[in-house]
Amino acid sequence: MRDIDKHKTLMIYSNCIGGIVRNPDIYGNIVVWTEDQNESTNVYVRDIAKNETSQIYANWTGSYLSVYGDRIVWMNDSVTGDNYHSDIYMYNTSTAETTRITNSTYASEPAIYDDKIVYIDSRNDPEYQEDRDIYLYDLSA
């Protein structure tokens, strides 16, 4: 049984401006999360070892953050007329570069581990988006 008195709890971010903090994820010393404030969503990354927090996106329209090493993946959605569309993107904290991973009708809910990104995609049912399949994208290929 674990003795919680011997473990340390650390507040890594103080929400002092009244926004709504959501979607935390962690890998190693890197923590990512979103904060909704003033009708926009911002994405933050914190390096626990370096005690540094950075805002990497403002006015973000994504969801489903997942982090592994220096890579953060998420689903980003958009609406054009009556058409809803979403794709998977990746941000590299070392290079500050964003890469579009998919070009699909409805890709969602990504997770990353090592050089692999898995996600749900309804490309085989673009009208109703009920036929959902799981795909793997290999960054090393």
Greatest CA separation for the chain? 56
Q: pLDDT per residue over 35-80, tens digit each?
A: 888 778 889 999 989 999 998 888 887 888 999 999 999 998 876 6
Residue 102 · residue 137 · CB < 8 Å:
yes
Q: Both tokens of residue 10?
A: 């650390």
Please give the domain boundaries of the chain with CATH numbers for all domains: 4-138 (2.120.10.60)
Q: Average pLDDT over the chain, rounded to whole?
A: 85
pLDDT band at 1 (very low <50, low <70, confident <90, very high): very low
- Report the candidate in 72, 57, 58, 70 with the shortest Cα–Cα distance to residue 25: 72
- The number of beta carbons lying within 10 Å of the beta carbon of residue 125 is 14
First to last CA, the chain: 43
Cα distance between residue 44 and residue 3, in whole Å: 31
Bridge-based pairing of strands 52-57 and 62-68 is unpaired
Prediction pTM value: 0.82
